[in-house]
Amino acid sequence: EFGITRPKGYTVSYHANPEMEKHHFGQTHPMKPWRLTLTKSLVSAYGMPFAMDNYNTRAATYEELNSFHASDYLDYLASAPAEDMPRDIDNPDKEVRFNLGGSDCPLFHGLYDYCSMSAGGSLDAARKICNKQSDIAIAWGGGLHHAKRSEASGFCYINDIVVAVLQLLRCFPRVLYIDIDVHHGDGVEEAFFSTDRVMTVSFHKYAPEIFFPGTGGLDDNGPKSEHNPGAHHAINVPLNDGITDEQYEHLFQTIIGKINEVFRPSAIALQCGADSLAGDRLGRFNLQVQGHAACVEFCKRLNIPMIMFGGGGYTPRNVARAWAFETSIAIDAHKKIDPIIPQHTPWRERFIHDTLFPTLEQILGEPRANRNTQKRLQEIVQHVHEQLRFVTH
């Protein structure tokens, strides 16, 4: 009906599981798996599934999760009682050690299923890229970049990205990880601190003590030991409140363009956290769907096999707009789609404004003050270029 056809000369796969979306972190918790339903509803209303290979993802197995996570952590995650269940005498101890059961990472019903489905989608995406059945694989249910080997953190329990990148490393010599979530991608950075086969780049709001997780300063480039091949392979782009599309796009293209020349990745893992959009419940930036999506388009134009992950995003209508539009970029349909949200879209009224591209005024009323000076952004570019002088292979 909308004339959306399969892209010429390459294949896009879409990995999702509607079961995942039924899980709840708790009444007022910002993370709402339901945003994935809203995204899928928009993707389908535009007819995009016709242009992709669609997979209903399975849950990752214990062994697969064990490729990164410690066994004692996984065992506890698999057996942890939900918050409203009677507690084991032994548990308070482990909950503290594993950072489980607090307000950020609550123990909710079906937690292990939710985590293993998120990782299953990302791992399926990585396998499709590895065996060349897809050129771009989309896993909006993944992107949970804060989880550590033996610790939950910031709404993330299983680091599906690390598990997927480990899979990519079996088939590709070098993987570039890019993270446009408003938070620092600390878990992924840390997991690959000691290898030069993965370069991690995170763009984020940086204000230690005030903004989570507090790491990711400009000088944080991996442990600078002489014997660590991973030194200089962590790149951080610390930003202030209110950055605009124009500034962010320029910074992104300059930095990623240069990294592509120097590091020459054979695959890209792109975390598309949508909490960097204006009007996000937890975010601080002034990005519009257009600016966020321009980053995805820039990566796509590099013509390198790519996984697109989800991540943060706490105003579901904006998350769905961004991820649906970014799906259209993957299938090269973004110039064809009507910005007016189709009449038959389920939950259409949830979008409030009937366009994919509401103006900043529509989203926010008053845009957030921009605290990023051109001078500071120039310093950041300069520092990144200096780090890249150490990168050789």
What sections of the chain are H helices per DSSP? 35-45, 62-65, 71-79, 91-97, 111-130, 160-168, 186-191, 245-263, 289-300, 316-330, 360-364, 374-388
For residue 236, the SS3 value is strand
Segment 224-283, which members bind Zn ion (CB under 5 A)?
Answer: 273, 275
Interface residue with Zn ion among 181, 186, 190, 196 (CB under 5 A) is 181
215 binds Ca ion (CB under 5 A): no
For residue 177, the SS3 value is strand
Interface residue with ligand ZL4 among 124, 186, 249, 275 (CB under 6 A) is 275
Catalytic pick among 23, 146, 183, 184: 146
Binding letters toward Ca ion, positions 158-187, x by CB under 5 A: ---------------------x-x------
Range in contact with ligand ZL4 (rule: CB under 6 A) among 2-10, 120-128, 140-148, 160-168: 140-148
First to last CA, the chain: 49
328 binds Ca ion (CB under 5 A): no
146 is catalytic: yes
Report how many helices (DSSP H) and strands (DSSP E) the chain contains, helices first: 12, 8
Segment 322-381, which members bind ligand ZL4 (CB under 6 A)?
Answer: none
Q: Is the peptide bond before 213 cis (omega within 30 degrees of 0)?
A: yes
187 binds Zn ion (CB under 5 A): no
Using CA atoms, how far residue 64 sits from 58, 79, 98, in Å, is 12, 18, 19
Interface residue with ligand ZL4 among 64, 181, 190, 326 (CB under 6 A) is 181
Interface residue with ligand ZL4 among 101, 120, 141, 154 (CB under 6 A) is 154
**CA 236 remoteness from chain centre:** 15
316 binds ligand ZL4 (CB under 6 A): no
Q: How far is the CB of 273 from Ca ion (least distance, A)?
A: 6
Segment 109-148, which members bind Ca ion (CB under 5 A)?
Answer: none
Spatial CB neighbours of 323, under 8 Å, sequence gap ≥ 6: 39, 43, 140, 272, 274, 310, 313
**Nearer to ligand ZL4 among residue 128 and residue 284 (C-beta):** 284
For the residues of 24-75, what is the DSSP string, one character each?
A: -S-TT-S--TTHHHHHHHHHHHTTGGGGSEEEEPPPPPHHHHTTTS-HHHHH
Interface residue with ligand ZL4 among 33, 121, 265, 273 (CB under 6 A) is 273
Q: How far apart are CA 12 and CA 302, in angstroms?
A: 15
312 binds Zn ion (CB under 5 A): yes
Interface residue with ligand ZL4 among 7, 10, 11, 29 (CB under 6 A) is 29
Q: How far apart are CA 65 and CA 289, in angstroms?
A: 33
**What are the catalytic residues?**
146
Name the residues that contact ligand ZL4, by CB under 6 A. 26, 28-30, 103-104, 144-146, 154-156, 181, 183, 212, 273, 275, 282, 311-312
Name the residues that contact Zn ion, by CB under 5 A. 181, 183, 273, 275, 312
